Each structure stands twice: as C-alpha cells, then as structure tokens.
Amino acid sequence: MDKYKIKNLKDLNITFGHSPDADDAFMFYGLAKNKITTTFKVNHLMDDIESLNKRATSGKLEVTAISAAHYPKVSNNYQIMSCGSSVGRNYGPILVSEKKINEKKLSGLKIAIPGEYTTSYLLFQIFIHQNIEPVFMHFDDVINSIKSGSTDAGILLHEGQVTFQEYGLNKILDLGERWFEKTGLPIPLGLDLVHKKFSPKHRKEITTAFYKSIKYAIENEDKALEYALSFGRGIEKNKGRKFVRMYVNNDTLNMGQEGLDALNKLFQFAKESEIIDKKPNIELCVPDN
C-alpha cells in the first residue's frame, strides 16, 4: 500500500516558508514573480527564522527555511534540500558589543541571542564555555538592546553582519571564522526543507522548482536584488548586494559533499557538547538540473 496520500502535485497549493531577509527573499524571486513554471501553486509565508523554526516543529509547512541547528528536532518530518542553504566560508554570525570586550572575558555578561534554536546560538555554545546570561529576543532587537545597555553584547545575523559598524559596534568574534579555524569547512547556517509527506518523486519536483528559482535570481541579480530589498530591511543596495553574494552562491545551488560533511560535523559537536541527544541521519533531496 502506498503510504503517500498525495498522488499528484498538479494545482496543489504548496506553502513555502521563508524569511524577508535579503538572501532568503532573493532566492525566492523566481517563484515569487512566476518566472519558474510549476505544476503546483506556490503560496509564500514570510516570517523571521526563529518563528519558522517553531513552525517546522509542528510540521505544518510543506517547504520551509530553518536554522541548520534546528534540523535534529524536525528530521522525522522533513528532508533537507541540497539547494537553498545559507553557507558561510570563513565568515558567519558575529558577536558584537559597544564597549570593546575580550572574548575570554564574557563571564557574567548579558548576551543578546537572536533565537534559542538558531545556528548562531549553537555555535556560541560550542565555542564559548563561559557562564553568560543569554537574553533571547527577535534578531531585529539585538542592536537596540546593546545600544540601550540592556545587554552587554549580542549576536548579529543577516544584514547586521555588514552594517554593525554604522551603529558604533565592535566585533568581538566571528563565529563562522572560528568554525573554519577549527574545522576547515564552510558553515551551513540556514537550510531549506521539504516535507516527507510528499513522495520522493514529488520532493524532487519541488526541490527542482526551488533550484530553478535560485538560479534565475543569480542570473538576474539586479532585478532579484531590487525585489529582495523591497521588504524594508534597512540596508542600502551596495551593502545588500554584498550580503546576498555572501550567502547566495554556488554553495546555495548545491551544498555538495563539503556541505554535508559540515552539517555532520556541526551535529557531532552539538552531541559532544550535550546540546542534542543524537545526530540525525541526513539524506539530501537533489533537484533535476
């Protein structure tokens, strides 16, 4: 008996969850603007990454972006697409402060954390073994919390990685850089997943459509960038372009064996640090291209 209830994707409404951050919005340009032909209909649900992590826990979204760190909690319901990953090569989320602080002297400080389930927080836990006070908040609030003095330092995701100096902030540590020093591998920060309620054939069809959307955006960068920056993330075009190129590139089209090795290493470190109970089995959904 076939365990998959969905027999055909034709005219099916499939919800794609992603954030309004420039890199995510850029990747979805082709699908959002109907530049990619699909048998199914695409509904876009935009939310911040921590909210998407929580939505993925419930298993309600058919396709969604999540933090790589959150995958062990949702691996029973979702398969990782080989495309769509936000990968840093010797760069990633950064720990910043207004006053200059030595990374070895964080003990006792309040640190703004942009989400309990984010990869940035997992990396922080792996590399920083000091008794800090984590203060969880929406990533948009991190800079204000530091500037107001309600926290001593904070982790910046997304566009904050290229704009932090405009706010008079100092970099304490680049978590992606530290990862590269320790492993020699890129760091997969964000992943895109497809629900296992679809058959392997249908998962591949959905993944292929997403791959084509990313490829279309890269080939039509100016228009895709204009679309991506239209969501009011407060970043000017040149810095937006720099940020998008940091996280939408060949690794995004195909994380490949190196990306797979990096994910396995991340989950190995998480298990060794007793942050997760066991490593998930990882099998990538690869598009037809």
pLDDT tens-digit profile of 169-188?
999 999 999 999 999 999 99
Same domain, 153 and 99: yes
Q: Residue 54 pLDDT > 90, yes or no?
A: yes
What range does the domain containing 209 cover?
A: 13-87+188-285
Q: Which helix (H) or strand (E) holds 202?
A: helix 200-219
CATH number at residue 105: 3.40.190.10
Domain count along the chain: 2
Task: Tally the residues of the chain.
Answer: 289
Residue 119 lies in a domain: yes
CB-based contacts of 98: which residues, under 8 Å, 6+ apart? Answer: 146, 147, 168, 169, 170
Of 167, 183, 199, the residue at which a domain comes to its end is 183
Distances (CA, A) of 202 to 17, 70, 194: 18, 24, 10
Residue 1 lies in a domain: no
Residue 124 lies in a domain: yes
Q: Residue 233 pLDDT > 70, yes or no?
A: no
Given this model, what pLDDT does residue 234 score? 67
Task: For residue 86, give the nearest of 195, 15, 161, 182 by alpha carbon.
Answer: 161
Same domain, 132 and 219: no
Residue 130 lies in a domain: yes
Q: Which segments within the chain are labelled E, that is strand?
A: 13-18, 41-46, 63-67, 78-81, 86-88, 94-97, 110-113, 133-136, 153-156, 170-174, 187-195, 284-285
Cα–Cα dist 15/13, whole Å: 7
Same domain, 177 and 199: no
Task: For residue 57, give the nearest of 195, 264, 202, 260 by alpha carbon.
Answer: 195
Of 123, 154, 183, the residue at which a domain comes to its end is 183
Given this model, what pLDDT does residue 257 score? 95
- Model confidence at 270, in pLDDT bands (50, 70, 90)? very high
Percent of the chain topping pLDDT 70: 97
Of 121, 152, 183, the residue at which a domain comes to its end is 183
DSSP 8-state code for residue 45: E
Q: Residue 1 pLDDT > 60, yes or no?
A: no
Instruction: Please state the rounded mean pLDDT for residues 245-249.
Output: 89
